[in-house]
Amino acid sequence: MEIDLGQDAAREARAMSWLDDQERRRWRRFLPGGPRRRFALSRAALRAILCERLGCDNERLAFGAAEHGKPFALVDGEPVPVSFNVSHSGAHGLIAYAPAGRLGVDVEERVARSDIDLLSEAVFGPAERAELALTSGYARSHLFFRLWTIKEALMKAHGAGFRLDPSSFETPPAMLRGMNEAIFRLPRLPEVSWRLQDLGNERFAAAIAHEVDGA
Amino acid sequence: MASTADRIRKLVADNLEVDGKPLPEPLDFGTGLTELGVSSMDVVAFAKVVAEDFGVTFTPEACATIKTLDELVTCLDSQMG
């Protein structure tokens, strides 16, 4: 689900009314303006979605954090075994929800960056860097953001985030060649399959990774 | 010679921004960059810049483990002896 995180004071005030005390404390740690707005709007939207899917009132819903900080839902203080993930960038927010299977989502606003080489060296493997080297200008930036979101979505779904060395695995060849989705297994975790899907468009790059059974 | 914290403060000022604006001074070394609103992409790029400036290497695990600028200063000081 896509969320509009553009400026709207009334919507932001309504969103704040959905947050609990812990979330309001976290909100205060963000910088005023965009960071606070993105957190409030995306967290309130997540609460609305989870309340609807789980059939509970907002007051009964809270969040805990797993080992590396990935949040999970609590209803009446008890963990609920559903999956969700949130990402936001600029005015774009994405929320993914599934009744089962680990989920990760990433969205990145397509903005001009002068450090694509630096970042590529840090997170991409040889095949990804070779594919990038075949492009230039807008196409290069487009591909960079596409590959980044695919990898970050997978790292978020896994739960380890950047502890999972992003240069230790590469985007599936089919997706490198332009396919929108693929089934993937991490070299260090071959028993688990992930469905990767590119959700991007001209305004933003986005991807989702979902753990699947028996693929 | 500038302290590690002073060098980090300058690297932040020169390299990091949120929504096109510099991070506010005084910089809070106890709060995580992502908690301030810095994107994961900018955090990775910043780690590369810091590693180059200090002549050290960060493993991805170390990058993910260091949450605050205070922890970054401690990590750098320990690597540089």
Measured between beta carbons, the chain A residues lying within 8 angstroms of B51 are none
In a 13 Å sphere around the CA of B51, the CA atoms on its Cβ side amount to 16
Give Cβ neighbours of residue A112 (< 8 Å, ≥ 6 apart): A141
Q: A33-55, pLDDT tens digit by residue?
A: 999 999 999 999 999 999 999 99
Q: Cβ separation of A119 and B44 shorter than 8 Å?
A: yes
- What is the rounded average pLDDT of the residues A12-18? 96
Q: Cβ separation of B60 and A163 shorter than 8 Å?
A: yes
Work out whether strand A189-198 and strand A204-212 pair parallel, antiparallel, or are unpaired: antiparallel
Q: A175-201, pLDDT tens digit by residue?
A: 998 999 999 999 988 999 999 999 999
| Cβ-contact B27, B12 below 8 angstroms | yes
Cα separations in angstroms, A4 against A41, A108, A205: 8, 14, 15
Residue in chain A lying closest to B42 (CA) = A119
Q: Cβ separation of B61 and A29 shorter than 8 Å?
A: no
User: In which residue are the tokens 């400026």 written?
Assistant: A7
| Cβ-contact A132, A120 below 8 angstroms | yes
User: In which residue are the tokens 């809270």 written?
Assistant: A62
Work out whether strand A181-186 and strand A78-79 pair parallel, antiparallel, or are unpaired: unpaired
Q: Cβ separation of A68 and B64 shorter than 8 Å?
A: yes
For residue B63, which of B80, B50, B78, B81 has the smallest C-alpha distance? Answer: B50
pLDDT of residue B16: 92
Look up the ipTM and state it.
Answer: 0.85
Measured between beta carbons, the chain B residues lying within 8 angstroms of A162 are 40, 44, 60, 63-64
Measured between beta carbons, the chain A residues lying within 8 angstroms of B65 are 163
Measured between beta carbons, the chain B residues lying within 8 angstroms of A68 are 64
| Cβ-contact A99, A194 below 8 angstroms | no
